[in-house]
Structure 1
Amino acid sequence: MVKRVSMSGAECPVARALDAIGDWWSLLIVRDAFDGVRRFSEFQKGLGIAKGILSGRLRHLVAVGVLEQAPASDTSAYGEYVLTEKGRSLFLVIVALRQWGEANLFAPGERHSTLVENDGLTPVPPIELRSSAGQKLDPRDTRIRKVSQSQGGQRLP
């Protein structure tokens, strides 16, 4: 088995994000947390994930600050997992994955769940990336400014 390499020190924000939440179980746990799942047994039942794998993923998501453990809201002895502010900021990531899946992985007319506004009827419109001037951006309109190598003892922007 290949040992996983940590990307937590990478200069690329995508690599660091994937290091924190990039495996599919973690993203499904976060998705379910947005849907109100809070207890270990609920995550396990809904995902059909092995308890050991779930335990490890929950521990990792707590360690990176995406989830936190809290006393049960019903005052039972069981604890709950709740999204932190950092976890809630993953909402756009989950919605973007959902919308990409809807657009690319379903046959025309194939049934799937739909993200709707709280009125229950209005589908959430597609996410669009906009420039500072308000124009829609696509990959041709952007580039990555990488951290450059040291030049004359100074780092370039």
Structure 2
Amino acid sequence: MRRTSFANWPCSIARTMDLLGDWWTPLVLREAFYGIRRFDEFQESLGIARNTLTDRLRRLVDEGLMEKQPYQSVPVRYHYVLTEKGRDFYGVLAAMNRWGDRWLSGDKGVPVVIHHDRCGHDTHPEVVCATCKEPLRSEEVSKRMGPGYPPRLAERPDVQRRFSG
């Protein structure tokens, strides 16, 4: 079955999902944030098939979220390191973690606690307005077409309805 590409859709969520592609990719990134660097460590930690892991790591490298760096010369072996683009994905994973903690944890409680080393407190992520710092709630925000929205689509009635108040 051929997968639909969202890479050129005028939607950052669709483009991000096109990059992630499946459930393994965010888990590979999660492990990288947990300090995993080597292929065998990813494979052991996730229980993922080697060919699947190879594909996911290759895509993350090709897309600039990770880079391969040699750690041994004979034979040449590489580890995978998050780039700035990869490290910037942390907020996405943290938001997913928060949602899962709230809605999927059950009676036993959250499986992983986020601790903010800088202030010394256990915490949870919140999505806030960059200007006023108030929490962003779906019922309190609206959408407008940005400069990257394709002009050919902007005139369509269904698109105009989506962006009208």
Unpaired runs of 5+ residues, structure 2, are 161-165
Q: Which residue of 1 aligns with 2:95?
A: 96
Q: In 2, Cα distance between the equivalents of 1:10 and 1:56?
A: 23
Letter in 2 for 1:80: H
Q: In 2, Cα distance between the equivalents of 1:120 and 1:140?
A: 31
Q: Are the counterparts in 2 of residues 131 and 137 from structure 1 also a CA contact under 8 Å?
A: no
Letter in 1 for 2:46: L
Letter in 2 for 1:93: V
Q: Identify, as 1 or 2, the structure richer in helix.
A: 2
> Partner of 1:68: helix, strand, or coil?
strand
Q: How does 1:23-38 map to 2 (within 5 A)?
A: 23-38=22-37
Deviation at 1:137, TM superposition (A): 2.1
Q: Which residue of 1 aligns with 2:62?
A: 63
> TM-score scaled by structure 2?
0.80
Number of aligned pairs? 151
Q: In 1, Cα distance between the equivalents of 2:137 and 2:111?
A: 27
Letter in 1 for 2:56: R
Q: Which residue of 2 aligns with 1:48?
A: 47
> Partner of 1:98: helix, strand, or coil?
helix
Unpaired runs of 5+ residues, structure 1, are none
Q: Over the residues paired in the alignment, what is the CA RMSD in angstroms?
A: 2.5
Q: Are the counterparts in 1 of residues 101 and 110 from structure 2 also a CA contact under 8 Å?
A: no
Change (3 A) 1:150 1:18: closer
For the pair 1:81 / 2:80, whether they are aligned, the reply is yes
Q: Are the counterparts in 1 of residues 67 and 83 from structure 2 also a CA contact under 8 Å?
A: yes
Q: Are the counterparts in 2 of residues 96 and 127 from structure 1 also a CA contact under 8 Å?
A: yes
> Partner of 1:60: helix, strand, or coil?
helix
Q: Which residue of 2 aligns with 1:145?
A: 144
Q: In 1, Cα distance between the equivalents of 2:55 and 2:126?
A: 32
Q: Deviations along 1:48-103, whole A, 9 cap, x unmatched?
A: 0000100011111111111111111x667320111011000001011111111111
Change (3 A) 1:150 1:26: closer
Q: In 1, Cα distance between the equivalents of 2:133 and 2:119?
A: 29
Q: Which residue of 2 aligns with 1:17?
A: 16
Q: Which residue of 2 aligns with 1:105?
A: 104
Q: Identify, as 1 or 2, the structure richer in strand.
A: 2
